[in-house]
Amino acid sequence: MNLIGNIIWLIFGGLAAALGYFVSGFLFCITIIGIPFGIQCMKIGLFTLMPFGREVRDGVGSTGCLSTLFNIIWVFTGGLWVAICHFFFGVLLTITVIGAPWGRQHFKLMSLTFAPFGKEIY
C-alpha cells in the first residue's frame, strides 16, 4: 500500500515539491552560513519523495541551543510559510475521504518543515 501511495504522491505533485526543496537546498549550500539550512532542505526533499511508510520523530539528544536557534532562524526565513502551505493542503485533502491519506502526509511534512532541526526521519 505504501508503494501505491508514494507513486500517486509523486505523480500529483510530490516530485515537483521535492525538486523545489532540492533547488532551495542547493542554493542554501552556496554560502557557508546556509549549509545547515541546505542540508535540512535536502532532508525534507528526500522525505517528500516517499512520505508513505516513513515517520518524523524528535532526535535523541538534539534539543540543544544551536538546534533551537537554527529552528528560530528557519521559521523567520520561510519555514513558517512552507508549513502553512502544507497545513492548507492537508486540510484541503482531508475534507474528502479519498484524499485523507495524502492529507496526513502533508501534516507530517508540516511538522518537519516548521522546525526541521532536531528531527529524524524513520
| Count of domains for the chain | 1
Rg (CA), the chain: 14
Q: Are 49 and 5 in contact (CB under 8 A)?
A: no
Buried b / exposed e along 59-73 (16+ C-beta atoms within 10 A): eeeeeeeebeebbee
Domain limits at 63? 2-121
Query: Which residues is 57 bridged to in the sheet?
Result: 120
Which tens digit of pLDDT belongs to each residue from 30-44? 999 999 999 999 999
Residue 12 has pLDDT above 80, yes or no: yes
Which tens digit of pLDDT belongs to each residue from 70-115? 999 999 988 999 999 999 999 999 998 899 999 999 999 999 999 9
pLDDT at 34: 93
